[in-house]
Amino acid sequence: MHNIQILKAVKNNNNIVDKDIQSMLLPLNLMHYIMCCPRYHIQNNLIVPNGLISHCVSIIGTTVFITLLCYRTYVLSNEYTAMFDVLVYYYSYYDIVYYTFGLTMGCTLSIIQTKKNVEFVLIFQKVHRFLNDETSFKNLILFNWIFFVAAIVCHFFIVSCFFSILTYYSKFVWTAYLLVFLDFYVINVIRAIKLIEDKARLWTVNLLNKNIENMDVQNYCKRMFESYVDILKCYDIIKVCFQQFVSMIITWLTFLITLFLIFMTDEGKKLCKNVLRLHRASFSKIRACGLFYVDAALQLALMGLLTNYTVVLLQFALL
C-alpha cells in the first residue's frame, strides 16, 4: 500500500518536498515517530499519507502505552499498604484517564487526518517558496530542535528527581517517562501555529515593500493574494487537525480546577473568596483619558467602529 502511494506521487510529481522544509519538519516528525503515530511519510523527497501498515503500528503502539499505564496502576492497587502514599495512588488513576484519552485522540487524529497533514505541508511549502526569510527560517528550525530536546531533557530530569525522592516507587519510573508523549502533541500544535504566524508576518512585510514599483505589480499582487489564501488554508487545516486535542486539554484543566475547588480546605476557600472580592473592588483595566479600555479587544473594537461608519457613509453616498 505504501509503495503504491509512492508510485502515484512519483507519477503526479506533486508531492515533492524541498530539503529545507524537510529539515524544518524533522524534529516535529521525530516526536510522532517516537510515539509510533506518524502523520505522514517522507521518502525520497516525496510525501505520502499513511498506509494500512502505519495505521496498524499506530494503534498497536498506542495500545501498548496505555496498557503499561494500566499495569502500573494495577500493581500499585495490589501493593496498597501503610507506607503507600495516597496521592500517588489517585494520581496513577488520573494518569490512566487523562493520558488514555489524550493518546487515543492523538492516534485517531494521526489516522483520520493523515491526508490533511500532507496537504498542510504542501500548501505551507508553496507559501514558503514565495515568502521566505532565510534568517527567520533558520530560527524556526533551531527552535523546533530546542523544543524537542528541551521536552525530553526537562521531562526526564523532573521524573528522575521525583522518583529519587520516592524510592519506593522507583520501579515505575519507566512508565512516567512515557508521559512525555502528550507534551509532544502540545509542542506540535504550538510550532504549527508558529509556522503560520511567521508566514503571516512575512506577508505583511512584503505588502509594505517599498521596492514594489520595480516589480511586475500585477503579477506580484496576484501572488500575494494567492499566498494569503494559502496561509488561511493552512490555518483551517490546523483547526481541523488540532482543535479537538486543544479542547480536550482545556476540558481537563477545567476538570482539575473543579476538583481542586471541591477538595479545598475551608481556609483555602476563604482565601479564594477574599482574592476575588479584592479583585472586584480594586482591579480595573487601563483607560485612555477615561473614555475606553486599553486591552486586547481594543483593536477589534476600533475596526468594528471603522467598519460601521464606513458602511453608513457608503449608504449615504450610493443610495
Q: Per-residue confidence at 170, pLDDT binned at 50, 70, 90?
A: low
Q: CA-CA distance, 71 to 60, in Å (whole number)?
A: 16
Q: CA-CA distance, 129 to 145, in Å (whole number)?
A: 22
DSSP conformation class of 131:
S
Whether residue 173 contacts residue 160, with contact meaning beta carbons closer than 8 Å, is answered with yes
- Could you report the per-residue pLDDT of 128-154, keeping only the tens digit for each? 988 888 888 899 999 999 999 988 888
Domain boundaries in the chain? 2-267, 287-318
Place of cell 500493581: 75
Place of cell 499506530: 58
- Greatest Cα pair distance, the chain, in angstroms, is 83
Whether residue 285 contacts residue 294, with contact meaning beta carbons closer than 8 Å, is answered with yes
- Could you report the per-residue pLDDT of 250-299, keeping only the tens digit for each? 666 666 666 666 655 566 567 667 766 766 776 666 666 666 676 667 77
- Could you report the per-residue pLDDT of 151-165, keeping only the tens digit for each? 888 888 887 777 666
**pTM for this model (two decimals):** 0.71
For the segment 11-32, the average pLDDT, to the nearest whole number, is 84
